[in-house]
């Protein structure tokens, strides 16, 4: 199972997003567990990005909240979390 490597920027963003919503916090924890188990499970809607983000992937937390990450060997680097406009 890959190891989740959480960037400081991701931590700040996730704290801001989940601060006022226990439901989103719980959903994020569930998504992170699923991401670690299988980053390409259909429920996450994982897709490779293009352009200057072509080395990254994105998955859904909610309809509006996305996570961007990189895959490397046995690690998943969590880079950004936020709305579509914030992370792309």
* Mean pLDDT of all residues belonging to the chain: 95
- Among 82, 69, 87, smallest CA distance to 3 is for 69
Q: 3-87: which CATH topology?
A: YaeB-like fold (3.30.2310)
pLDDT of amino acid 40: 96
Residue 62: pLDDT over 90: yes
Residue 85: pLDDT over 90: no
- Measure CA of the first residue to CA of the last residue in the chain; give whole Å: 27
The C-alpha atoms of residue 74 and residue 3 are separated, in whole angstroms, by 6
**Which sequence spans correspond to the domains of the chain?**
3-87
pLDDT of amino acid 55: 96
Q: What pLDDT digit, counting tens, does each position of 10-60 carry? A: 999 999 999 999 999 999 999 999 999 999 999 999 999 999 999 999 999
């Amino acid at each position: 199972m890959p190891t989740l490597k959480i960037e400081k920027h991701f931590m700040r963003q996730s704290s801001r997003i989940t601060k006022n919503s226990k439901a989103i916090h719980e959903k994020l924890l569930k998504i992170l567990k699923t991401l670690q188990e299988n980053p390409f499970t259909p429920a996450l809607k994982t897709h490779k990005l293009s352009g200057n983000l072509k080395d990254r992937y994105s998955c859904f937390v909610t309809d509006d909240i996305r996570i961007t990450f990189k895959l490397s060997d046995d690690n998943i680097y969590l880079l950004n979390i936020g709305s579509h406009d914030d992370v792309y």
